Amino acid sequence: MRRSERDLVQAAKKTTRRALIVGGAMTSVVGVLGVRMWQLSVRDAEQYYLLAEENRISLRLVRPDRGRILDRAGKIVADNEQAYRITLVKEEARDVDDVLEKLQVLLGLDAETVSKVKEQIDRVRAFVPVTVKDRVTWEELSIVALNSPVLPGVQPEMVLSRVYPFGPDFAHQVGYVGPVSDSDLENEAADNEPLLRLPDFEVGKTGVERSHERTLRGLPGKRRVEVNVSGRTMRELALDPATPGPDMQITLDHHLQNFMRVRLEGQSAAAIVMDVTNGDLLGCTSAPSFDPNLFVRGISSRDYGALRDSEFRPLADKTVQGAYPPGSTIKMSNALAALETGLMDPEETVACNGYVEISGRRFHCWKRGGHGRVNMVGALRESCDVYFYEVAQRIGIDGIFAMNDRLGLGQKYDLPLSGMAHGNNPSRAWKQERYAEDWLIGDTINASIGQGFTLTSPIQLATMTARLASGTAVLPRLVRPLAGPDQVMVAPAPLGLSAEALAIVQQGMFEVSNHERGTAYSSRIADPTLAMAGKTGTSQVFSITAAERAAGVRSQDELPWNRRDHALFVAFAPFDAPRFAVTVVVEHGGGGSTAAAPIARDIMLFAQHGGLPPEDAYPTSQRARIREDLALLSERILPPDGTTATVSRT
């Protein structure tokens, strides 16, 4: 074979090998692509279909209607109302600053509001509406509508917003809602509660609104919508409705609650009315109050500063957050302890000369000249301190602590209220743990008249009074289930106190209000069928020094307001068949008989009558003045049917 032919054969062989290699490589690539196409189109088709659907279909939460709160009579005290707000969409507005400037003029927006709106616009996506002003009036809505051609991106929205029809009457107990804060997100594990991430969503901040937030909130619904590549909603595909929060009923009575707030106007005070048979709180008022609607609508810095800085502390719920020396209102507990232990005969008398010396220290009675010889009922009636100094020395701090605890002092109750004070029912162990000091006899003497380390809240004093009236371990209750066939009331357990001991203490309280020498005789109820048994109390804010006592103690009117004594009064009625327990604490009121007892008497009469009482319920000598007072009160309180109608949810 010639050389050229051999070269051609060899070249052909090389070409064939290259073709085979290239062909094999191409076949492999095609095979890999084919396998991958099979995986995508057949094996994993469902997975990628779902991914594609997720890009096209978006699930949106549907806000549930918040559950309403009703009073014991079915009046709505926290409701939802339709309201309009003005919103702005950034991508439609084009020039956001120009639109906001126009809205600022039209709606009277302040610079702070405009700044907040701009911050929110920068945080959300361009097509998400941002609220410029909430709860706009029809006039404001009309102004915006008329100027809509020069307000691109601005549109009204209708929303449901929380409203409190009785305003300040239930502010501390029902509480209020507000925008979700960072602390709310942390406390509620927002990853598991996506509702909190919704713009302008509101949650309970105080009172029942906060403690029952999860229940009142309801359950969100879901809305399936088709979106484009930028996330804009194109159309709605399906809707799973939200589940509204259930209604909730509280034990308070709107009529009584309104009267109590009006009666306490001008005071820094707390008042409670409790049903002694089951613990229902019928009235629970802290004065001064505030309008919770301001917080829902967005309270201004100026208004909030005025509430925060007031020396009367309107934002604090004094009924459960206030902790005060109980003063002489605690003497019934000491008397019961002495009777139950048999360490004091009720007819035994103690001589009161105005003071007693114990361990080289002089302890004074409130009555400088003394009460003479008094027995237990007389000591309660006239609030003799020296008598109870003797009681304290016999029963000791252990006896005082045990009976205080039995009557509910120094305890926190299961109530849906914010910042409840524990108070302090002191004991030997408490002082050793707190101060690393031994208990002294002087500590016991101070505890016997509700001073020293002893602190109580108005709700604790109301519970104590209800237990003294009923002889049962009644507990306060603010929320109850809506009436139904399965609702069962469990009667409070007996306290285990002897009927004789309770009768003696109750008689002493009766004479406080109905005996001429009683400390609250001027605040008695004239109608014997409604007779009130009570106890006055005055707790010192500052100790009186020996020099001040020698020079003559100044009257309460001569002292600055914040140095005056707290005034207290506790009572139950009717005496023969107790139903209501009342507690009144007037901060820096001066004396329990002059400041707290008249208020408690008026509240007790209103509770028993279910409205303003007739003049003949008051002593004859007081009726001319009472007539004027009742006329003024009738003008200031709401009518019996309140301001809202009882409505059933559809």
Q: Using an 8 Å Cβ cutoff, are 277 and 473 in contact?
A: no
Structure tokens at 116: 């907040």
Residue 22 CA: distances (Å) to CA of 10, 15, 26, 34: 18, 10, 6, 18
Q: What is the number of other CB atoms lying within 10 angstroms of the CB of residue 597?
A: 31
Between CA 392 and CA 577 the distance in angstroms is 31
Between CA 300 and CA 119 the distance in angstroms is 18
Instruction: State yes or no: is 328 an active-site residue.
Output: yes
Could you say which of 211, 268, 289, 328 is catalytic?
328
Between CA 218 and CA 63 the distance in angstroms is 9
User: What is the Rg, in whole angstroms, of the alpha carbon atoms belonging to the chain?
Assistant: 36
Q: How many CA atoms lie within 13 A of 225 on its CB side?
A: 15
Between CA 623 and CA 179 the distance in angstroms is 50
Beta bridge pairs of residue 178:
203
528: left (phi over 0), alpha (psi -120 to 50) or beta: alpha
Q: How many CA atoms lie within 13 A of 571 on its CB side?
A: 41
Kindly state the DSSP code that residue 481 receives in the 8-state scheme: P
Q: Where are the alpha helices (DSSP H) in 44-95?
A: 45-56, 90-93
Our measurement of the distance from residue 475's CA atom to the centroid of its chain's CA atoms, rounded to an integer in Å, reads 18
Q: Using an 8 Å Cβ cutoff, are 480 and 208 in contact?
A: no
Between CA 636 and CA 647 the distance in angstroms is 25
Our measurement of the distance from residue 599's CA atom to the centroid of its chain's CA atoms, rounded to an integer in Å, reads 23
As annotated, the active-site residues are: 328
